[in-house]
Structure 1
Amino acid sequence: MARIEHFNNPNAPKPNSIVVAVTVFVQDGHGRVLLIQRTDNGLWALPGGAQDFGEYIAETAVRETREETGIEVKVTGIVGIYSDPRHVVEYSDGEVRQQFSICFRALYLSGYPRTSDESSSVVWVARDQLDQLPIHPSMRLRVDRGFERLPAPYIG
């Protein structure tokens, strides 16, 4: 299913859903962040996805990271909560989702990067290489905040 990200676009379609979702900021031993290239829009992003019924939200973060990247993680904190109503995601099935995502900080435990149906590429990326990748501004905010290691989570 294709998706279009609308950010600060006054002509964006009106949202018709809000889904609890997560993203995961995890670094390797060299300080690089784990990123995927999404199959639905080609943009680079932190691994993540929607919470399933019967699942704790931290379990969602672990499961989504494993499914999309092959990497096992342990949730250690929160980078931020992202709920900007000016950021909506339009899907080809007619859903228009207002963003609501909790970005977790996680510790790398094991595994090697591998692709999935949702990720055409999975790589560890150094901070100084981020500008070379197409990353949505909302996702870049999460990545930058993850690297900043602020004492309190971002709420916005």
Structure 2
Amino acid sequence: MAEATGMDPKSVERWVNLGRIPRRRTAIRAKEETGLDIEITGLVGTYTDPRHVIAYSDGEVRRQFNVRFLARAIGGNLAISDESIELRFVAPTELDALDMGFG
């Protein structure tokens, strides 16, 4: 599924707090942003752009990375949230043409 947010994907930050399980947090975010209940079925990969560095005013420097999961819908109803402008299912062959941020 593709979600169009109307935002530069590189400017959107998603955090998983210490002690949280990334798969669980991903399922919660999917429900919040798409209305769908999902089951994580695999890991697609982790991606980063070495040029994307976040430097804070207190001197802390971080490099962001993305973790992409494979999932399937198991319930719910597709619904646009206040963070989305378009939601649609796409064929795997269409994924390379979509701008999903770095990686």
TM > 0.5: yes
Give the percent of matched residue pairs that are identical in Structure 1 and Structure 2: 32
Structure 2 residue 3 is the aligned partner of structure 1 residue 36: yes
Point out where structure 2 has 5 or more consecutive residues left out of the alignment.
Answer: 55-60
Higher relative contact order (CA 8 A, sep 6+): 2
Equivalent residues in 2 for 1:1-156, closer than 5 Å:
34-41=1-8, 49-87=14-52, 98-129=63-94, 131=97, 135-136=99-100, 138=102, 141=103
Q: Runs of at least 4 residues of structure 1 off by over 6 A?
A: none
Cα offsets for 1:37-87 (capped at 9, x unmatched): 11333x6xxxx9321454211111101111111111111211001122223
Point out where structure 1 has 5 or more consecutive residues left out of the alignment.
Answer: 1-33, 90-95, 142-156
How far apart, in 1, do the equivalents of 2:66 and 2:93 lie?
25
Aligned residue pair count: 93
When the two chains are superposed, the root-mean-square deviation of aligned CA atoms in Å is 2.8
The secondary structure found in structure 1 opposite 2:44 is strand
Specify whether residues 50 and 79 from structure 1 end up closer, same or farther in structure 2 by C-alpha distance, changes over 3 A only.
Answer: same
Specify whether residues 117 and 128 from structure 1 end up closer, same or farther in structure 2 by C-alpha distance, changes over 3 A only.
Answer: same
How far apart, in 1, do the equivalents of 2:71 and 2:93 lie?
21
Q: Any conservation in 2 of the 1:72–1:108 contact (CA below 8 Å)?
A: yes
